[in-house]
């Protein structure tokens, strides 16, 4: 069953207009990073309700320039192909995630809905800085939920799109193909918890949070402070 939740309020941070909609059976957050001056927009993790995404683009006068993926699980990718074809844009993901997105067993579509494979047009590497739609975005490779999971950091705006690496008071699952608990905890400790505490974190599911809040309240903190084997 397809589920469309009500769209979230639009947030403005400098020239960034950020909005998102929770879509599909997994209530996946699809993000829109819009340049308020030009309306050029990056779509992150288009979930499985293309028509709802299209309506939101039209209502907000967004001009899509690219699709970014935090990872390749089916609930984050099902509208990608149609969006890229309609707007003649490309889909980007971390280089370590290309194989998973293109494999219906590893991206979990075979288990949940029927085989679906997505071809990634272009790939990122860790720490790559991408300039698009007037934003400078740093790609942070954060393996753990999947091998090629990544976060997108907009330093000037103080925003992190975290995918399924970290949630409000929780973390992503690691029992799916290419997942690894130790690597997930290292990603959170070394890549996310080192960002300024006021950084706003927008996860793949659920509500937004901040780095500072998660450093105190997240369920992974007890493991990071204990003897859990991180290797």
pLDDT for res 229 = 60
Rounded CA separation 50/150 (Å): 23
Give domain status of residue 37, yes or no: yes
Partners of 132 in beta bridges: 135
Q: Give per-residue pLDDT as tens, 132-173.
A: 999 999 999 999 999 999 999 999 999 999 999 999 999 999
Rounded CA separation 33/27 (Å): 19
Phi, psi of 15 (to 5 degrees): -85, -5
Q: Evaluate if residue 226 carries a pLDDT over 80.
A: no
Q: How confident is the model at residue 222 (pLDDT cuts 50, 70, 90)?
A: confident
pLDDT for res 5 = 46
CATH code of the domain in which 49 resides: 3.60.15.10
Give domain status of residue 229, yes or no: no
Domain count, the chain: 1
Domain extent for 198:
11-224
Q: How confident is the model at residue 4 (pLDDT cuts 50, 70, 90)?
A: very low
Whether pTM exceeds 0.75: yes
Give domain status of residue 22, yes or no: yes
Give domain status of residue 218, yes or no: yes
Give domain status of residue 54, yes or no: yes
Give domain status of residue 169, yes or no: yes
pLDDT for res 224 = 87
Give domain status of residue 59, yes or no: yes
Give domain status of residue 5, yes or no: no
């Amino acid at each position: 069953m397809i589920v469309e939740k009500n769209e979230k309020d639009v947030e403005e941070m400098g020239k960034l207009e950020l909005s998102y909609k929770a879509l599909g059976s997994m209530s996946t957050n699809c993000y829109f990073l819009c340049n308020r001056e030009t309306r050029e927009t990056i779509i992150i993790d288009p979930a499985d309700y293309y028509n709802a995404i299209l309506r939101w683009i039209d209502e907000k006068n967004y001009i899509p320039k690219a699709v970014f993926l935090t990872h390749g699980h089916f609930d984050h990718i099902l509208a990608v192909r149609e969006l890229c074809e309609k707007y003649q844009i490309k889909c980007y993901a971390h280089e370590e995630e290309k194989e998973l997105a293109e494999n219906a067993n590893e991206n979990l579509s075979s288990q949940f809905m029927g085989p679906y494979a997505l071809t990634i047009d272009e790939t990122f590497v860790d720490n790559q800085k991408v300039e698009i739609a007037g934003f400078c975005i740093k790609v942070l490779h954060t393996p753990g939920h999947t091998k090629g999971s990544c976060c997108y950091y907009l330093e000037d705006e103080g925003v992190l799109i975290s995918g399924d690496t970290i949630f409000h008071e929780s973390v992503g699952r690691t029992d799916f193909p290419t997942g690894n608990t130790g690597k997930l905890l290292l990603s959170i400790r070394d890549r996310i918890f080192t960002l300024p505490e006021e950084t706003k974190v927008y996860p793949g599911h659920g509500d937004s949070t901040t780095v500072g809040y998660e450093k105190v309240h997240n369920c992974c903190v007890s493991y990071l402070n204990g003897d859990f084997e991180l290797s």
